Amino acid sequence: MNQHPLCHVAGLGQALPGAPISNAELIRRYGLESTPEWIETRTGIRQRFFVGPGETTATLAAAAAQQALVQAKLAPSQVGAVVVATCTPDYTFPSVATLVQAALGLPVGIPALDVNAACSGFIAALSVAQGWFATQPGLEAVLVIGAETFSNVLDFTDRSTCVLFGDGAGAMVLRRNRPGQTNGLLALAQGADGRQAGLLHSAHGVARGRVAGTVQMDGAAVFKHAVRQMGDQAQVAALLAQSGHTLADLAWLVPHQANARILAAAGEALGLAAERVVMTVAEHANTSAASIPLALATAQQQGQFQPGELVLLQAFGAGFTWGMASLRW
């Protein structure tokens, strides 16, 4: 049983570009046949942020990381590795992580790489970080970032998808635990079902048309799969059991912010009161791999997590892919 986590959250940061764009403004800007009420009642989304000139996934990632380092009281020179979860990178290569490394002046020679598991990418990035802590005894601190600019892959003539997504980045500094320290990352689980790739995908890619395609989604089908996967009590119970916990011990659910109705259903299925489910989808919309660290940073700013509380992170996204992580705060 894992009662001694390898690492803990030492700092969180977030970056949201420009001014918020309300539902009404989005509808007006793109001439959508929709209403602010439809968007808010069907998704919970009230606004989103889109990058402007000169802003990219890497600039957002670097800004969020800088904040997280300040909170962790860590200098860039003390970072031992950086991993970025994104499916909207600046370039096909090099990775966003290497751009962040250069922008922040992180040490030359440290590992820096991206992972792509779409909306569940942040959990994948956490598992990469966990693996580094497990295999590199000298490693003291890792930057884990989720960053996306989905506005670059939205089809603004498709009202069923373009209203759902936003841009942003969230960052977490993980530090190695001292002997006996009991807070931190307890357990992780991930999965995928590639047979469902067609239900939520980008229409092109470098090897399929030499351009990044826009988002295509069968929303109703994705909705059902997301609710079933995120509300799967047995999988959550198995994860929590790894650290000797049960569902009753859970203080907070921090889900991927896709749709308020999906999040409410997931919380209910796990027996959590609505106020124990962190919801930022109204303010941020769906920021894919950035949504969990953004939600964590927001909840922490609002003073929501108390030391010792058990927190479950849960994500579902294109692939399909999914993942969970439990933390003792």
Q: Shortest distance, CB of residue 39 to ligand UT7, whole angstroms?
A: 6
Find the part of the chain contacting ligand UT7 (CB under 6 A) among 46-54, 138-146, 214-222, 301-309. 214-222
Q: Is 119 a catalytic residue?
A: yes
The verdict on whether omega for the bond into residue 156 sits within 30 degrees of 0, i.e. cis, is no
Which residue in the set 119, 278, 290, 325 belongs to the binding site for ligand UT7 (CB under 6 A)?
A: 119
Helix 291-301 vs helix 57-71: crossing angle, to nearest 10? 40
Which residue in the set 8, 14, 43, 97 belongs to the binding site for ligand UT7 (CB under 6 A)?
A: 43
Residues in region 75-104 near ligand UT7 by CB under 6 A: none
How far apart are alpha carbons 301 and 314 in whole angstroms?
20
Query: Counting contacts by CB under 6 A, is residue 69 touching ligand UT7?
Result: no
Query: Counting contacts by CB under 6 A, is residue 222 touching ligand UT7?
Result: yes
Query: Counting contacts by CB under 6 A, is residue 317 touching ligand UT7?
Result: yes
Q: Is 225 a catalytic residue?
A: no
Which residue in the set 226, 254, 285, 297 belongs to the binding site for ligand UT7 (CB under 6 A)?
A: 226
Q: Shortest distance, CB of residue 296 to ligand UT7, whole angstroms?
A: 17
Q: Is 286 a catalytic residue?
A: yes
- The two tokens of residue 299 are 């909840």
Listed in sequence order, the residues at least 6 apart from 122 whose beta carbon sits closer than 8 Å to its beta carbon are: 85, 144, 146, 170, 256, 289, 290, 291, 292, 293, 313, 315
Residue 243's nearest CA partner among 196, 185, 194 is 185
Angle at 118 between CA 117 and CA 119, to 5 degrees: 110
Query: Counting contacts by CB under 6 A, is residue 108 touching ligand UT7?
Result: no
Residues in region 177-206 near ligand UT7 by CB under 6 A: 200
How far is the CA of 93 from the CAs of 38, 98, 206, 274, in angstroms? Answer: 39, 9, 11, 41
Residues in region 228-257 near ligand UT7 by CB under 6 A: none
Cβ atoms of residues 172 and 11 within 8 Å: yes
Cβ atoms of residues 183 and 326 within 8 Å: no
Query: Counting contacts by CB under 6 A, is residue 290 touching ligand UT7?
Result: no
Find the part of the chain contacting ligand UT7 (CB under 6 A) among 88-96, 201-209, 218-226, 299-307. 218-226
Q: What is the maximal distance between C-alpha atoms in the chain?
A: 58
Query: Counting contacts by CB under 6 A, is residue 319 touching ligand UT7?
Result: no
Residues involved in catalysis: 119, 256, 286
- Which residues of this chain interact with ligand UT7, rule CB under 6 A? 34, 38-39, 42-43, 119, 159-160, 163, 200, 219-220, 222-223, 226, 258-259, 262, 286, 317
